[in-house]
Amino acid sequence: MSSYNELSVEELCELKNGLEDKYNKFKSMGLSLDMSRGKPGGIQLNENNKLLDEVCSDSDFYSENGWDVRNYGLPYGIPECQRLFAEIMGVDEKNVVVCGNSSLNIMFDYISQCMTHGTGGCEPWMKQGKVKFLCPVPGYDRHFRILEYFGIEMINIPLLDDGPDMDMIESYVVDSSVKGMICVPKYSNPTGITFSDETVRRIAALKPAAGDFRILWDNAYIVHDLSESPDSLLEIFSECKKHNSEDMIIEVISSSKISYPGAGVAAVAASDSNINEIKKRIAVQTIGPDKINQIRHVRFFGSADGVYAHMKKLAKHMAPRFELVLKIFDEELSGKGIAEWTNPNGGYFINLKVLPGCAGRTVSLCADVGVKLTGAGAAFPYGKDPEDAYIRIAPSYPSEDELQSAMEVLCVCVRLAAVEKILEKREKS
Ligand SMILES: Cc1ncc(COP(=O)(O)O)c(C=O)c1O
């Protein structure tokens, strides 16, 4: 099949008729498939079920420092859980606070703290007039929603294959109203790329005009390798130490996609001075997190090695799904000049880039035959994809049969939307 752009109007019309026939067949199938969020599937969740047996009524309820985890206290987490997360992140445990169940929650609270109380001895952001954040795109919709909630202006920074466009970032940080960046450095949501060593080094070497410039380093997929040759990410704090810039980084992770989303454990790592600011706030916010959940996670995983071994088990469920999506894209979309996609070594998502102006139409065509995808534009601040070209694929939740059907529908919709767009352009010209 030659590229769609090379086809004559007659050939395109014929192609469109054939695709419409296929599409109408899907319509009559009464599908109801939800691929809108990156949730683990049931089989993956079952791999964790022994975790629930780790704390039972005749358990030893004491953390290693002798604290009864059933009671109030230890607002910064039990020491063995701090150590577990410190080991995973490659940082010192004294710089880690283990919180509740959600890293998103940690990020929200941190931004809120900067807005109302400031950081690094600077004025609260809410008193500094317009405050801006750099947002590598496509990115994670819920990050953008936090920033939008606080009225922080978001600046799109293209996310390239090796990380955000660093030339652009370096040119923006000379503006003192630019207060930070929010990013996913490993297996980014949604493109699945990992920041290169060079990118991490350039980030660590930034010299922002704002003394209170903070990077939310959301390492949500730090251990979520799927390939035999996984990506590796430089440890950011070690790089920052070379430039005395550790205060720039607030790193968060959680076990949401290691154990249970919503019932996992989340943690934050930050420099001495930032972690002290965070602790001061947390000491007011809570009398203590859910330490029963923390201890059962430590007992279930044992150590960082236990987490890595567990992730290998989960990868056995995830990798075939990624392979299936990529195989179908290859068979149905390649060589037509209408789509490109990422092939990540880990994480939860594949990013599909369709012809400009076709993402919204594709997603709505899918919805009309019962396949719900993440909304077009979701991966951009304010929900606005300037190219209307990006579609996030989340293969984790449906069964493999459902995934197969959903991808077949998607490919027909991508092709149909592309033919419509090309014909529309031809009519205009
Ligand atoms: C990049 C990223 N950060 C954070 C989260 C949410 O994490 P948590 O469940 O810890 O709030 C997700 C969930 O999809 C994610 O993709």
Where are the domains positioned within the chain? 4-45+308-428, 61-302
Percent over 70 (pLDDT), the chain: 100
Per residue in 202-239, pLDDT tens?
999 999 999 999 999 999 999 999 999 999 999 999 99
Question: In this structure, are residues 82 and 76 in contact, taking their beta carbons and an 8 Å threshold?
Answer: yes
Which CATH architecture does the domain made up of 4-45+308-428 adopt? Alpha-Beta Complex (3.90)
In CATH terms, 61-302 corresponds, of 3.40.50.300, 3.30.230.10, 3.40.640.10, 1.10.1740.10, to 3.40.640.10
- Tell me what percent of the residues of the chain surpass a pLDDT of 90: 96
From 102, 108, 392, give the residue whose CB has the most ligand 1 atoms within 8 Å, as the site to mutate: 102
Which residue's entry shows tokens 């035959």? 369
Q: Which residues contact 171 (CB under 8 A, 6 or more apart)?
A: none
Write out residues with Cβ below 6 Å of ligand 1. 38, 102-104, 140, 184, 189, 218, 220, 254, 256, 261, 266
Pocket residue to mutate for ligand 1, from 99, 186, 189, most atoms within 8 A of Cβ = 189
Ligand 1 center from residue 276 Cα (angstroms): 24
* Same fold across 4-45+308-428 and 61-302: no
For residues 266 and 100, the answer to whether their CB atoms sit within 8 Å is yes
Instruction: Report the candidate in 6, 300, 341 with the shortest Cα–Cα distance to residue 190.
Output: 341
Residue 407 has pLDDT above 80, yes or no: yes
Nearest CA to ligand 1 atom 13: 38
Work out the angle at residue 11's Cα, subtended by the Cα atoms of residues 7 and 12, and round it to the nearest 5 degrees.
75
* pLDDT tens digits, 131-168: 999 999 999 999 999 999 999 999 999 999 999 999 99
- Looking at this protein, which amino acid is placed at residue 266? A
How far, in whole angstroms, is CA 356 from its chain's centroid? Answer: 23
Q: How far is ligand 1, taken at its centre, from the CA of residue 194, in Å?
A: 16
Give mean pLDDT, residues 114-126. Answer: 98
Alpha helix stretches (DSSP H) within 176-260: 197-204, 236-241
Give me the pLDDT at residue 1, please: 53
Mutate to test the pocket of ligand 1, among 104, 146, 186 (most ligand atoms within 8 A of CB): 104
Q: Are 417 and 357 in contact (CB under 8 A)?
A: no
Q: What pLDDT was estimated at residue 291?
A: 98
The predicted pLDDT at position 37 comes to: 85
Question: Contact at 8 Å (CB) between 270 and 217?
Answer: no
Distance CA 252, CA 100 (A): 12
Compare 429 and 389 and report the one with higher pLDDT. Answer: 389
**Residue 95: pLDDT band by 50, 70, 90 thresholds?**
very high
pLDDT in tens, 245-299: 999 999 999 999 999 999 999 999 999 999 999 999 999 999 999 999 999 999 9
Whole-prediction pTM value? 0.97
Closest residue by Cα to atom 2, ligand 1, is 220
Write out pLDDT tens, residues 337-366. Answer: 999 999 999 999 999 999 999 999 999 999
Contacts of 428 (CB under 8 A, 6+ apart): none
pLDDT in the model for residue 429: 81
Q: Are strands 33-35 and 132-137 parallel, antiparallel or unpaired?
A: unpaired
Cα separations (Å) of 373 from 261, 325, 363? 20, 14, 6
Strands 33-35 and 371-373: parallel
Q: What is the pLDDT of residue 151?
A: 98
Measured in whole angstroms, how far is the alpha carbon of residue 101 from the centre of its chain? 16
Q: Quick one: pLDDT at residue 355?
A: 97
Mean pLDDT, all residues of the chain: 97
Q: Are 267 and 54 in contact (CB under 8 A)?
A: no
